[in-house]
Amino acid sequence: MEADLCAVVLCLWGSLGGGGAGSGTGAGACRRCGAALAEPYVSCWACPGRPSLCLECFARGAEFPGHASSHPYSLEGRCCPLEEGWGGGEELALLGAVEECGLGNWEAVSARMPGRAPHHCRDHYHRHYLTHPPPELARLVPTPPTLADPPHTADPIEYVAGTEQPPRPLPGTPAAASLAGYCAARGDFLVEADPAAEAILAEVDPELFEGVGAECPGAALVVAVADAYRRRVAERHHVRRVVRDAGLLVGAGRLATTLARLRPTLPSGLMRALPRLLTLVPGQDLEEVVAGLAAEWELRQQVQQLREYRQAGITRQAGVATYETLRRRREATHRERECLVSGGAGRGGDWKVEGRCVLSRAVLPGVGRRARPPLDVSGMPGYEGLTRAEREACAELHMPPEAFLRHKRLLVGEARRCGGLRLAQARTLLKIDVNKTRRIYDTLQHAGDITAITAPHARHAANTTASTTTTTETLPS
């Protein structure tokens, strides 16, 4: 039984931190053995006067007149389980040193903390008292209310995990540096809007017109000044609310992160318009709009993938894994074949089998730089508005679908206005690479979107050639 009690006491003592044991507490002597009490010690809550026992006597189940070992007890001590290696005495000494020496004077604080370096004191204080303060300790016995206690207390502010309204960056982080002048703990600023609002009250003496009637002009003037101050403070709160709701704080919400993730998928015009909506709608509503756009984009990606599977002849989900494996294998084989045709690409230009050269650069005199693989344009903005031929053209030209559609609208509009379009006109309108212009021109011409017009000098040469041929055929031999 004594061994079990000793184990229980040691476990309780270890859970409380264990620091500072053996130091006198000034709480008196043990009621059973008379030894000076050292933290932690046990107090009986059933006996009058709450007699104290040392851990050794408590572990043996010591009793004395009026006290039994079955009485309720509490473990007394200043041990604080904030961090392993820091006892309750050290915590009190640290708080007292910070109060006397000032926050930030860690050299002087360390001089009052034996065995603790300045950076240890600074990190411990910031970690447990500023960044992550300890929760309020539970009371063993409810304290009776007094007249000094207010009848009603304000409800504590609850900060739900994951929310960023208002932002509360940790000190020393890039987010805290970008919000210089913003007090995250209070949700306000070092320099508020209309900082001189309190100056109008500096010259007002509330006792100057005390005891006079309400008809006194001086009393009415004091009331007018107080009302003006109230209006300016209300305007200050309004500005602060606008800054918060409009997302004007850097990193005030998840909107910036979401927009950065959706930048490759949304049209450029929409990306430029979304931040401007913050002046019209609250940031939370705009976040919901952006989240809806992101969900729409993901749904379009899934639908496009299912269409590709269906075009490949897959009708069941079980065949998708086999199709993806074969597709990757086919692409790898295609790359290896291109590597062989282009001369080895780092594996040597000549391939020999049994001493005979089967592939050499001399056999392929026209082989130049290795061609780039086609661009995967599926899922890009504007992909849904392209035909199959236009998608193939975008992939070969490494051109985003948005750019292709913009060039298409320009060429089709000019062709409708002029009744047709020449290749030279297309090159003048687009002002891009001539090979890309030719590829776009041919694609639109084959699709019937534009009508090709032969150059005037080409038509004249063709007519001259035809007339000469006709005259030659009519001459006698």
Task: Output phi, psi for 358, to 5 deg.
Answer: -100, -20
Four-way CATH pick for 387-459: 3.40.50.2300, 1.10.220.10, 1.10.10.10, 3.20.20.70:
1.10.10.10
Q: Is 39 in contact with 88 (CB distance < 8 Å)? A: yes
Cα–Cα distance for residue pair 134/125, rounded to 1 Å: 11
Q: Which of 335, 305, 334 is nearest to 320 (CA)?
A: 305
pLDDT in tens, the chain (477 residues): 444 444 444 444 444 434 443 444 456 888 888 888 877 788 898 888 888 888 888 888 888 888 888 888 887 776 666 777 787 778 888 888 998 888 888 999 999 888 889 998 999 888 888 887 766 654 444 555 554 444 444 333 333 333 445 566 677 777 667 677 777 777 778 888 888 888 888 888 777 777 776 677 877 888 888 899 999 999 988 888 777 766 666 544 456 666 666 676 676 777 777 777 766 776 667 777 877 877 887 888 888 888 888 988 888 888 888 988 998 898 888 888 877 776 554 444 445 545 555 444 444 454 455 667 788 887 777 787 888 888 888 888 888 888 898 889 889 888 888 888 888 888 888 888 888 899 999 998 888 888 887 655 444 444 444 444 443 343 343
Q: Is 340 in contact with 351 (CB distance < 8 Å)? A: yes
SS3 44: strand
Is residue 17 left, alpha or beta, with left meaning phi > 0 and alpha meaning psi from -120 to 50?
A: left
Distance separating the N- and C-terminal Cα atoms of the chain: 139
Helix-strand-coil percent breakdown of the chain, rounded to 5? 50, 5, 45
The domain segmentation of the chain, as residue ranges, is 2-76, 88-131, 224-297, 318-359, 387-459
Cα–Cα distance for residue pair 410/404, rounded to 1 Å: 10
Cα–Cα distance for residue pair 153/145, rounded to 1 Å: 13
Rounded (10°) angle between helices 401-418 and 388-397: 120
Element housing 430 (H / E): helix 423-430
Q: Which of 44, 49, 83 is nearest to 67 (CA)?
A: 44
Cα–Cα distance for residue pair 82/124, rounded to 1 Å: 9
Q: Is 405 in contact with 385 (CB distance < 8 Å)? A: yes
Task: Output phi, psi for 317, to 5 deg.
Answer: -65, -25
Task: Output phi, psi for 42, to 5 deg.
Answer: -110, 135
